[in-house]
């Protein structure tokens, strides 16, 4: 293995993200309990999000717009101004949340930085991801930040060209098999899966991954013996 660059997913790999969406979803559900069951509210919201994904992309602003749209449907067009205001406030709360680093992330970056170029490869709103990286205090570990509108093979190929490396010189570390692992293996890179306890249903895949360039670990610090012994 002749790895030059280690790319980290950000949300739910470096810091907490999905639980904040779940918190907000719970608050959203509790606003409309008189109209529908929690299950049906969640379903309506998810369907609205997925319908809008190609237009809005990932991130909190699109999520907020989808919450408002879903709320209009949930209330059969009787959405109160107070509820609309509350949804806008929920979105702003999410944007303003402090960044909570996941366990051992900083030690892992510290240990790897002398040996590899480290980059962040994430999707979501541009400004929001930049702000989180700044708030995280981790920015100085990274050589480059790539914010992608979609984490597919084409985006990883672009990243590789940009970094001026071969696919097999990249290791991607992340929590989403669909976004962080499969497209990277597909283009010839290495990938390490660090599962997180909460995953958005849209990121879930059914299949098991088996590939010679693939590894799965339970906690992020387990990448160290693997990546440092091969260095």
Binding residues for its own copies (CB under 8 A): 55-57, 61-62, 64-65, 68-69, 72, 75, 77-79, 81-82, 84-85, 88, 91-92, 95-96, 125-128, 130, 147-150
Closest contact distance (angstroms) between CB of 123 and its own copies is: 9
Min CB(89)–its own copies separation in Å:
10
Select 176 or 213, whichever has its Cβ closest to its own copies.
176
Tell the smallest beta-carbon distance from residue 159 to its own copies (Å): 13
Query: Residue 99, exposed/middle/buried by CB under 10 A (0-12, 13-18, 19+)?
Result: middle
Write down the least CB distance from residue 34 to its own copies, Å.
16
Nearest CA to 160 among 176, 178, 172? 172
Residue 124: phi, psi to the nearest 5? 125, -170
Q: Nearer to its own copies by C-beta: 87 or 105?
A: 87
Nearer Cβ to its own copies (150/153): 150
Non-local (6+) Cβ contacts of 26 within 8 A are none
Q: Which is nearer to its own copies, 96 or 207 (CB)?
A: 96
Shortest distance, position 56 Cβ to its own copies, whole Å: 6
Length of the chain, please?
Answer: 231
* Rounded Cα–Cα distance for residues 185 and 167 (Å): 9
Cβ neighbours, 10 Å, residue 20: 17
Report the residue number, 71 or 184, with the smaller CB distance to its own copies: 71
Least distance to its own copies from the beta carbon of 82, Å? 8
Q: Are 174 and 194 in contact (CB under 8 A)?
A: yes
Nearest CA to 208 out of 224, 185, 226 is that of: 185
Residue 136 CA to its chain's centroid (Å): 15
Q: Whose Cβ is closer to its own copies: residue 130's or residue 222's?
A: 130
**Shortest Cβ distance from residue 191 to its own copies (Å)?**
23
User: Sheet harboring 214-216: ordered strands across?
Assistant: 144-148, 117-123, 5-8, 170-174, 190-193, 214-216
Closer residue to its own copies, CB minimum distance, 91 or 189: 91
Structure tokens at 97: 């949340």
């Amino acid at each position: 293995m002749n790895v030059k660059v280690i790319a980290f997913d950000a949300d739910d790999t470096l810091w907490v993200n999905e639980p904040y969406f779940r918190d907000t979803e719970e608050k959203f559900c509790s606003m409309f309990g008189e109209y529908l069951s929690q299950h049906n509210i969640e379903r309506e919201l998810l369907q609205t999000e997925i319908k809008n994904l190609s237009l809005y992309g990932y991130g909190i602003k699109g999520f907020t717009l989808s919450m408002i749209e879903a709320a209009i449907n949930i209330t059969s067009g009787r959405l109160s101004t107070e509820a609309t205001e509350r949804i806008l406030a929920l979105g702003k709360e999410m944007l303003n949340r402090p960044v909570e680093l996941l366990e051992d992330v900083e030690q892992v970056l510290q240990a790897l930085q002398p040996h590899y170029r480290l980059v962040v490869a994430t999707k979501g709103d541009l400004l929001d991801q930049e702000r989180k990286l700044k708030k995280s205090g981790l920015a100085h570990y990274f050589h480059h930040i790539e914010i992608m509108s979609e984490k597919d093979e084409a985006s990883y190929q672009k990243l590789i060209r940009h970094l001026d490396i071969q696919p097999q010189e990249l290791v991607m570390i992340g929590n989403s098999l669909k976004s962080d692992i499969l497209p990277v293996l597909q283009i010839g890179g290495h990938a390490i899966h660090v599962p997180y306890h909460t995953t958005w249903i849209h990121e879930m895949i059914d299949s098991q991954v088996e590939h010679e360039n693939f590894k799965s670990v339970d906690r992020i610090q387990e990448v160290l013996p693997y990546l440092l012994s091969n260095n």
